[in-house]
Amino acid sequence: MARIAAAIPLGLAPHEVLEYVKLAEELGYESAWMAEGHGGDHFALFAACATATSTILLGTSVTSVYVRSAPTIAMAAATVDALSNGRFILGVGSSHRVQVGPEHGIAYARPVQRVRETVEVIRALLRDGEVSHRGETIVIERFDLWFSPHRPDIPIYLAALFPKMLELCGEVGDGVVLTGCTLETAGKVAEHIAVGASRTNRSPDEIDVTSLLPCSVSDDRQEAFDALRPGVAQSAGFFPRYARVLAEGGFPEVAEAIQAAWRRGDRDAAVAAVSDEVIAARSIVGSAAECRERIQAYRESGLDLPIIGPGLGPRGLDGALDALRACAP
């Protein structure tokens, strides 16, 4: 069966997350992924999902290495992994400067090194039951784990957008979680992953290449495209990194227009700046048949695991569930 995963829409209530993940499992999705933002604690939600499902994998997309300590992340991951009987994937990333400081009051510095050391600490703690670490961004005198993990080696995926983090993923990651993918992205990403993999004598084929892909399913083309414009505008307007991804992905003028509108507080203009070409290049959008064709095109481009991400439109959970059904394997 061709691989496909589902991203959990942010904004669902806890009981709605359970309903979404259970349907994804019934439909044959390989895994369900949830971002850490403002939508509820994803470790707690996945603990509930773990006890309500039996086959679907559960992955964070992703956990910030700043807002939780490395031992805290390790304990949470081991807990969900035990409750799910070994179905957990830990996705970690550096988040964004515009979030970590203003929203959490935590200093943001040296993101690549911070991710590297966080992975080192997590792996050591789960493997050995205790860890001491004196690094450049993390110092831990000693931390011991008071229970035995279900698995001493939980898969760790890294969120990556640019060369340095992609190369780190090649060095230490089991997979990469991408955002803003076009059909050209996977080939470019593979080159940087290979550079990192060569440093630790790994095969690049060991790294699972995944991407979050916004998804909107409708026979009404205008409706399908319009549903995705606000998300693109917010991501490129608020997050400088995502604006850079959009620009480097072939749309520098659109990225500039969105950011200019966002800076002056004109959200409507930011949304209007998102062209159909941008959405078509970076999303799963259109009728059910068109969406399924697009998913296959992403696979053929070199993406190992497409992660479709239905948004919460006017129909809320019902609309997201319909998108799951339309794109199911």
Q: Are 91 and 63 contacting, i.e. CB atoms less than 8 angstroms apart? A: yes
Tell me: do 236 and 92 sit in the same domain. no
Are residues 282 and 205 located together in one domain of the fold?
no
| Cα separation, 170 vs 191, whole angstroms | 10
More confident residue, 226 or 312: 226
Residue 314: per-residue pLDDT: 77
Specify the long-range contacts of residues 288-297, CB closer than 8 Å, at least 24 apart.
Answer: 288/217, 288/326, 288/327, 291/215, 291/217, 291/326, 291/327, 292/326, 292/327, 295/4, 295/213, 295/327, 296/2, 297/183
Q: Which two tokens stand for residue 49?
A: 């999902």
Least trusted range by pLDDT, from 148-157, 158-167, 280-289, 313-322: 313-322
User: Between 1 and 166, where is the model more confident?
Assistant: 166
Domain shared by 154 and 231, yes or no: no
Query: Is 119's pLDDT higher than 90?
Result: yes
Same domain, 239 and 311: no
Residues facing residue 80 across a β-bridge: none
Asked if 312 and 259 sit in the same domain, the reply is no
Residues 5-46: tens digit of each pLDDT: 999 998 999 999 999 999 999 999 999 999 988 888 999 999
Residues 210 and 94 in one domain: yes
The answer on 227 and 186 residing in a single domain is no
Q: Which residues touch 146 (CB under 8 Å, ≥6 apart)?
A: none
* Tokens found for residue 258: 């969105």
Query: Are 201 and 267 in the same domain?
Result: no
Segment 230-257, tens digit of pLDDT: 999 999 999 999 999 999 999 999 999 9
Q: What is the DSSP letter of 204?
A: G
**How many distinct structural domains can be found in the chain?**
2
Average pLDDT in the 206-221 region? 96
* 251, 254, 260, 263: CA torsion to nearest 10: -80
Tokens coding 307: 């992660």
pLDDT at 211: 98
Tell me, yes or no, whether 113 and 181 share the same domain: yes
State which residues form the domain around 233: 220-286
Helix, strand, or coil here: 209? strand
Average pLDDT over residues 126-134: 98
Residue 318: is its pLDDT beyond 80? Answer: yes
